């Protein structure tokens, strides 16, 4: 059983490596874009791969809404096994709510409807569902009557996917990860997967942690129409339906978000994709036999796709060369995100331990204290949010990686200490600036976490 992709070169796979190198340059230079990892497949082989230090190939990355595509695969497998009927009503899977859910549109909503984000609601319902029932998102969702007939309008809607995850758990009798382990993860050679949970189970719409290669394998499975190493995992008609427009969404602002929506996949100007907040991508280009998996911390996700279309597409089926392959390999081997630049911490005049109080409590709510202290031959920072401390060793002129963080610090020209903390299981970067003269600090997120506080910004350890 093949569990690892064969490695090749771009030119051997009909790709001009200069185009891939231009894509990397664009990702590194475009405002609002920060790449963390990239795997490019063609004909089922790796044409190029690289990770930006301190991110690494073997570290799972929070996928945010790209998790939806994994949840959808669980639905497709359960349908193939006869555990559920896509044309069944959602309410039929929650008999305990049958007497409460009386709105006709809520009662006629089907699994196909919520797979396609076509529940009939005109807008996101997560906050409203939680307001109705803080402990049961499905109940809150089903008690919120749709604005239109199910199947007629698109609205990106987290409870649709949350509900699908709960249905799979109910029909399988276990967690999503337990259900998918022998049916998807093991056959594809996927070892490291964890999923953030609430009191019910995996979030479904978010919270999956997986490596960049895992993203690529999911894309390759769909590119191969549901077959892996000669074994069918997803029905071909499921793959066809999941990767074509089920409901139109022309009102979406960005061009690659207005091409239609399938079953937890977006259609795009080229091919289709799953994606997640801050630049987690699984791009599949069937006409070119290509899969591109990317992780990152990008505020401008449209710019990422624009760069792919501008630089990668022209490189496909273009003349390559061994020299270009070698230059790209060198570039891929030296990728990195710059550590904090400045003087060493010893020049700040700090005692062996220096405590700093927050200057602005609204910037990062709950982050009240920062402690800088000597740690052997180096320094460490302890950040305390809502009473929960997180200790991170600090690199100087480099990143020091420890557990779920990578941190770097330096003294700026004005004497203040700038600390960068990357929560490397996630996209997120926290900036902390300490003022030794005032004994205070300020903090800001480069990208704000959607679910977590600093002490939970890591892959779950119990999944």
- Along the 463 residues of the chain, how does pLDDT read in single tens digits? 345 799 999 999 999 999 999 999 999 999 999 999 999 999 999 999 999 999 999 999 999 999 999 999 999 999 999 999 999 999 999 999 999 999 999 999 999 999 999 999 999 999 999 999 999 999 999 999 999 999 999 999 999 999 999 999 999 999 999 999 999 999 999 998 999 999 999 999 999 999 999 999 999 999 999 999 999 999 999 999 999 999 999 988 899 999 999 999 999 999 999 999 999 999 999 999 999 999 999 999 999 999 999 999 999 999 999 999 999 999 999 999 999 999 999 999 999 999 999 999 899 999 999 999 999 999 999 999 999 999 999 999 999 999 999 999 999 999 999 999 999 999 999 999 999 999 999 999 999 999 999 999 999 986 4
CATH number for the domain spanning 227: value is 3.40.710.10
- Do 351 and 449 share a structural domain? yes
Nearest to 370 by CA among 387, 383, 361: 383
Residues 242 and 193 in one domain: yes
Same domain, 231 and 323: yes
Does the residue 120 lie in any domain? no
> And the tokens for 438?
């005032």
Last residue of a domain, one of 332, 365, 395: 332
437 and 316 together in one domain: no
Q: How far is CA 201 from the centre of its chain?
A: 18
Which DSSP helix (H) or strand (E) runs through 178? helix 176-180
* Closest CA relative to residue 340, chosen from 411, 434, 443: 411
The answer on 244 and 375 residing in a single domain is: no
Q: Tell me, yes or no, whether 121 lies in a domain.
A: no
In a domain, 374, yes or no: yes
Q: Among all chains, which residue has been given the structure tokens 């259609």? A: 267
- 228-264: string of b/e by CB count within 10 Å (b at 16+)? beeeebbeeebbebbbebbbebeebeeebbbbbbbbb
DSSP strand E in 179-250: where? 193-195, 208-210, 227-228, 231-232
> Do 321 and 351 share a domain, yes or no?
no
Q: Identify which of 83, 76, 154, 143 has the alpha carbon closest to the alpha carbon of residue 119.
A: 154
Shared domain check, 227 and 315: yes
Burial of 131 by CB count in 10 Å (0-12 exposed, 13-18 middle, 19+ buried)? exposed
Angle CA 263–282–275, to nearest 5:
65
Contact 52, 36 (CB under 8 A): yes
Q: Which helix (H) or strand (E) holds 421?
A: strand 417-423
Instruction: Give the whole-angstrom CA distance, residue 121 versus residue 181.
Output: 33
Whether 317 maps to a domain, the answer reads: yes
Q: What is the end-to-end Cα distance of the chain in Å, rounded?
A: 25
Longest CA pairwise span in the chain (Å): 70
Is 223 within the bounds of a domain? yes
The pTM of this model reads 0.96
Q: Per DSSP, what are the bridge partners of residue 367?
A: 385
In whole angstroms, how large is the CA radius of gyration of the chain?
23
Residue pair 317/338 in contact by the 8 Å Cβ criterion: no
Same domain, 225 and 308: yes
Q: Are residues 279 and 388 in the same domain?
A: no
Residue 119 is assigned to a structural domain of this protein:
no
H helix count then E strand count, the chain: 12, 21
Q: Residues 6 or more apart from 288 whose CB is under 8 A from it?
A: 42, 271, 313, 316, 317
pLDDT value at position 180?
Answer: 98
Question: Based on the structure, what is the number of domains in the chain?
Answer: 2
What is the β-pairing status of strands 227-228 and 193-195? unpaired
Q: What is the enclosing helix (H) or strand (E) of 295? A: strand 290-296
Domain final residue, candidates 279, 306, 332:
332
pLDDT digits (tens, 9 = 90+) for 350-394: 999 999 999 998 999 999 999 999 999 999 999 999 999 999 999
Partners of residue 434 on adjacent β-strands: 417, 441
Please name which of 386, 355, 367 lies closest in space to residue 442, comparing C-alpha atoms: 367
- HSE (CB half, 13 Å, CA atoms) of 223? 27
Residues, the chain? 463
Residues 292 and 234 placed together within one structural domain of the fold: yes
Q: How many whole angstroms separate alpha carbon 382 and alpha carbon 354?
A: 11
Does 263 fall in a domain? Answer: yes
In the numeric block, which tokens belong to residue 401? 């990686």
Percent with pLDDT over 70 in the chain: 99
Q: Is residue 305 part of a domain?
A: yes
Tokens of 325: 């392959």
- Tokens encoding 461: 């350890």
Distance set, CA 172 to CA 77, 101, 178, 179 (Å):
11, 24, 9, 7
Same domain? 65 vs 200: yes
Compute the distance between CA of residue 94 and CA of residue 340 in angstroms, rounded to an integer: 52
Last-in-domain residue among 332, 365, 387: 332
Domain containing 81 equals: 6-85+161-332
Whether residue 316 is found in the same domain as residue 373: no
């Amino acid at each position: 059983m093949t569990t690892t992709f064969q490695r090749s070169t771009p030119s051997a796979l009909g790709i001009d490596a200069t185009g891939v190198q231009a894509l990397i340059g664009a990702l590194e230079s475009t405002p609002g874009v920060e790449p963390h990892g990239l795997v490019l497949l063609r004909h089922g082989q790796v044409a190029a791969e690289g990770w930006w230090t301190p991110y690494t190939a073997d570290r799972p990355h929070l996928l945010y809404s790209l998790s939806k595509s994994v949840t959808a695969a669980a639905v497709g497998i359960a349908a193939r096994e006869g555990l559920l009927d896509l044309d069944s009503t959602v309410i039929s899977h929650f008999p305990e709510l049958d007497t409460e859910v009386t709105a006709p549109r809520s009662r006629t909503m089907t699994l196909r409807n919520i797979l396609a984000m076509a529940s009939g609601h005109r807008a996101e319902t997560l906050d409203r569902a939680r307001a109705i029932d803080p402990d049961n998102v499905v109940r809150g969702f089903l008690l919120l009557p749709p604005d239109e007939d199910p199947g007629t309008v698109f609205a990106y809607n987290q409870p649709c996917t949350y509900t699908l995850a709960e249905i799979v758990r109910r029909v399988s009798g276990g967690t999503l990860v337990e259900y998918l382990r022998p049916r998807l993860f093991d056959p594809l050679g996927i070892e490291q997967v964890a999923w953030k949970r609430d009191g019910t189970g995996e979030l479904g719409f978010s919270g999956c942690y997986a490596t960049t290669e895992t993203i690529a394998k999911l894309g390759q499975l769909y590119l191969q129409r549901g077959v892996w190493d000669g074994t069918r995992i997803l029905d071909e008609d499921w793959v066809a339906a999941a990767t074509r427009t089920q409901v139109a969404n022309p009102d979406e602002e960005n061009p690659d978000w207005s091409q239609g929506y399938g079953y937890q996949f977006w259609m795009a100007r080229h091919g289709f994709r799953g994606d997640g907040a801050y630049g987690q991508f699984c791009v599949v280009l069937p006409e070119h036999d290509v899969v591109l998996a990317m992780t990152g911390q990008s505020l401008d996700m449209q710019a990422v796709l624009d760069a792919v279309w501008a630089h990668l597409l022209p490189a496909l089926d273009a003349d390559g060369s061994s020299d270009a392959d070698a230059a790209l390999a060198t570039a891929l081997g030296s990728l990195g995100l710059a550590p904090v630049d400045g003087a060493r911490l010893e020049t700040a005049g700090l005692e062996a331990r220096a405590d700093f109080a927050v200057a602005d409590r609204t910037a990062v709510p709950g982050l009240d204290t920062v402690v800088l202290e000597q740690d052997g031959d180096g320094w460490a920072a302890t950040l305390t949010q809502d009473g929960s401390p997180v200790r991170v060793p600090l690199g100087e002129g480099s990143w020091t990686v420890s557990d779920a963080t990578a941190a770097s610090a330096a003294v700026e020209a004005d004497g203040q200490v700038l600390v960068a903390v990357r929560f490397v299981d996630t996209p997120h970067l926290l900036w902390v600036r300490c003022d030794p003269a005032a004994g205070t600090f300020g903090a800001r997120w480069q990208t704000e976490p959607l679910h977590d506080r600093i002490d939970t910004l890591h892959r779950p350890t119990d999944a």
